[in-house]
Amino acid sequence: MIGYVLRRLANYIVLLFVAVSLTYVLAATQLNPRSLFLMRNPPLDPRSIESMLLSRNLSENVPLWERYWTWLTNVLTKWDWGQSPMGAVVNDEIGARIWVSLRLLLIGTMLGLVLGVAIGAWAATRQYKISDRVITVLTLLVVSTPAFVIGHVSQILATDANRRLGYQFFEFIGETGAIHGEGWWPVLADRLQHLLLPTVVLMLLGLASMSRIQRNLMLDALGSDFVRTARAKGLRENKAVMKHALRTALIPTATYVAFTVATMFVGATYTEKIFGFRGMGAYGIDTIQGQDIHGVVAVTAFAGVCVLVGAVLSDIFVAILDPRVRLS
Amino acid sequence: MTQHSAGSQGVGPAETAPAPAEVEQPTTPGARKRLSRGQLTFRRFLRNKTAVVGAIVIITLAIIAAIGPELFYWKFDDIDYDAFLKGPDSNHILGTTQAGRDVLALTLRGMSKSLIIGFMVALIATSIAALVGATAAYVGGFTEKAILWIVDLMLVIPSFLLIAVITTGGPQGPNAWLLLVVLLAIFGWPLSSRVVRSLTLSVKEREYIQAAKFMGLPAWKIIIRHIIPNVSSLLIIDATLGVGYAILAETGLSYFGFGVQAPDTSLGTLIGEGARMATTYPWVFMGPATVLVILVMSVNAVGDGLRDALDPTSGSGGRA
């Protein structure tokens, strides 16, 4: 068992190494940090541009292989992921942004998952009734709406609501704003006001896809022989559904949840950009627009780690929940 | 990704067994015609009202995208110097952008671009997935291991970022969207190829495959003639849901300016442009956003309907 886990882990590390190296090569050949300095007005001295790029290991006059080697040794020996063309340290950026993402995403993602499971399972028990049909159409609508459309629509609605209310209740730019008053309560209230709208958006997105998945799983479970047996031996409907159908239908969900929570950090690109949260998802976009080779590679590596952690977590979850896997 | 995995659930091995029993036994011999598999699937599909509406909407949108530009006075690259950022009126039905371009004409143009990209990507990605997945399972051994490793590698890399990196440094100009099609297709196949592989693993043990093998048919002929047709129900569903995935991916990239480039436009480019002032001048945003949501929703509804219609164990289509 342990040998198997270690072998898989080794395979994952090789996978990640190749993926990150490929990304480095792609980013280093496709992005052009020099263009940032050439656009400056008044123009900069070409020699000072060159020395600046050289000091940050970004000059394309150095052979790609040499740049890659310098970058790799820095990462492996000093855990130094490099600098942006403008000199920002990638390690510091990521260190700060992870917490921004966590603060933004934790509540919304969790609420979305829990409510999604509940709604999906409930809809399955009422298959083809009005309530099920309404839920199905509504979740289809949300799943088909891109995150950026939902985000902006929520902002349009919030602006309208603010106008009606006569004061700025819904905040949608940034993590914090102007704080009115003394003490800890205004600070907290301000943060909550800024969290409200993006949390609702994230919750809706998670809820919709989760409830669709859970409804399918639950329908499969409800139609299975062991639930029929449970009913046939005279169990109450409630007990047959909750204890026999729902428990089985939650096993695949657990693996999905493990995966979602792990990949949560890089999944909220649109929400972070639209609501002005400087988190990890927004960092991916900012680095590409800022020709920041080292930043892009670091985000990719981070996302890759998230995916692999999610995969390992879901393996473990299945082993815990499914006796067939655990015993074999 | 969610859509893909959800889409592949509930699809049993492509059944070679005939249609459900109640269809096969006519009340009096010869009185009712025996339904072919295609007719049966079609009937089951027609029972799902949401899916039928979705199909009609897609066809209508495609027709509007094709002939719409001929019907309206303003073309997508026209500039009306009398109307900058004007709200909807009789002259410009959906209003104008900051540059004085007609939002309706732009939306139609963007819709046709998004539709073309969506269908091309889905077709290419599903074809690759079918060939690669079936080959991996049928050939087995080292080839299978290598293919699975590449699939894992592509699933680890965040495709959105990588495509954005490549298009940022890639060629610009009127044909740059073809690169986008290629990139979206390259990153679109890995997940579905895994599903195709696991289906092929069960199909390849069937007698007719064994028979073909012992008759001396080469592997590639067996794959194309006997394996792929027998996983076709999965492929149809996958391609349909793939259209939705591709449209969402394309508009998402274009929203940030990594996809279709100006002067050409896609729904994502338009939404991105309109979003900056969505709270003050909502019409530039609302037109294309509504069209996008209707389009993707219809594609997903058709995908769901096809899944139910093609899945022999599903009861949701009712009795055929």
Residue A304 C-beta-side C-alpha neighbours within 13 Å: 26
Highest mean pLDDT (candidates B131-140, B165-174, B279-288): B131-140
ipTM for the whole complex:
0.88
CA-nearest of A153, A184, A157, A181 to A169 is A157
Question: Counting one residue from A and one from B, how many pairs have CB atoms under 8 Å apart?
Answer: 124
Backbone phi, then psi, for A44, in 5-degree steps?
Answer: -90, 160
For residue range A28-79, list pLDDT tens digits in order: 999 988 888 887 778 888 888 888 888 888 888 889 999 999 999 999 999 9
Q: Is the pLDDT of residue B18 over 80?
A: no
CA-nearest of B130, B192, B193, B187 to B156 is B187
In the prediction, which pLDDT does B24 show?
Answer: 45
Element (H, E) at B44: helix B37-47
Which residue in the set B157, B297, B299 is minimally distant from A304, CB to CB?
B157
SS (H, E, C) A63-98: CHHHHHHHHHHHHHHHCCCCECCCCCEHHHHHHHHH
How far is the C-alpha of A48 from the C-alpha of A38, rounded, in Å?
Answer: 11
Residues 155-194 of B with CB under 8 A from A: 155-158, 160-162, 164-166, 168-170
Least confident of A121-125, A305-309, A310-314, B230-234: A310-314
Q: Which chain A residue is nearest to residue B251, measuring alpha carbons?
A: A146
Backbone phi, then psi, for A18, in 5-degree steps?
Answer: -65, -45
In the prediction, which pLDDT does B320 show?
Answer: 38
C-alpha distances out from residue A178 to A139, A167, A173, A174, A305, Å: 36, 14, 11, 11, 37
For residue range B39-56, list pLDDT tens digits in order: 888 888 888 888 999 999
For B281-313, b/e burial (b = at least 16 CB within 10 A) is: bbbbbbbbbebbbbbbbbbbbbbbbbbbbbbbe
For residue range A135-151, list pLDDT tens digits in order: 999 999 999 999 999 99
Q: In chain B, what is the straight-line distance between the N-terminal and C-terminal CA atoms, in Å?
A: 32
A148/B contact by beta carbon, under 8 A? yes
Q: Is the pLDDT of residue A328 over 80?
A: no
Neighbours of B10 (CB within 10 A): 18
Q: Is the pLDDT of residue A310 over 60?
A: yes
Q: Which residue has the higher pLDDT, B99 or B151?
A: B151
Q: Is the pLDDT of residue B145 over 60?
A: yes
Q: What angle do CA B8, B13, B15 make, to 5 degrees?
A: 125
In the prediction, which pLDDT does A1 show?
Answer: 60
For residue range B264-277, list pLDDT tens digits in order: 888 999 999 888 88
In the prediction, which pLDDT does A288 show?
Answer: 93
Check B300 against A284: CB less than 8 A apart.
Answer: no
> Sign (positive/negative) of CA torsion A199, A202, A206, A211?
positive
Q: Is the pLDDT of residue B315 over 60?
A: no
DSSP A245: I
B131/A contact by beta carbon, under 8 A? no
For residue range A240-282, list pLDDT tens digits in order: 888 889 988 888 888 888 878 777 777 788 999 999 999 999 9
How far is the C-alpha of B297 from the C-alpha of B60, rounded, in Å?
Answer: 14
Residues 72-131 of A with CB under 8 A from B: none
DSSP A44: P
- Report the DSSP beta bridge partners of residue A83: A89
* Mean pLDDT, residues B21-28: 46
How far is the C-alpha of A4 from the C-alpha of B81, rounded, in Å?
Answer: 69
Express as a percent the part of chain A with pLDDT over 90.
46
Q: Is the pLDDT of residue A327 over 80?
A: no
CA-nearest of A80, A121, A97, A96 to A217 is A121
How far is the C-alpha of B256 from the C-alpha of B273, rounded, in Å?
Answer: 9
Express as a percent the part of chain B with pLDDT over 70.
87
How far is the C-alpha of A240 from the C-alpha of A246, rounded, in Å?
Answer: 9
How far is the C-alpha of B9 from the C-alpha of A199, rounded, in Å?
Answer: 29
Mention every residue, 6+ apart, whose C-beta is less than 8 A from residue A41.
Answer: none
Q: Is the pLDDT of residue B122 over 80?
A: yes
Q: Which chain B residue is nearest to residue A288, measuring alpha carbons?
A: B165
How far is the C-alpha of B198 from the C-alpha of A121, rounded, in Å?
Answer: 28
Least confident of A133-147, A162-176, B269-283, B303-317: B303-317
Helix (H, G, I), strand (E, B) or coil at A279: coil
Sequence letter at residue A81: W
DSSP of B97-127: -TTS-BHHHHHHHHHHHHHHHHHHHHHHHHH
* Mean pLDDT, residues B12-29: 44
For residue range B83-103, list pLDDT tens digits in order: 777 777 777 777 888 777 888
| Mutation site for A-interface testing, chosen from B145, B157, B307 by largest number of A Cβ within 10 Å | B157
Q: Which residue has the higher pLDDT, B54 or A5?
A: B54
In the prediction, which pLDDT does A256 show?
Answer: 84
Q: Is the pLDDT of residue B208 over 50?
A: yes
Q: Is the pLDDT of residue A155 over 70?
A: yes
Q: Which residue has the higher pLDDT, B197 or B309?
A: B197
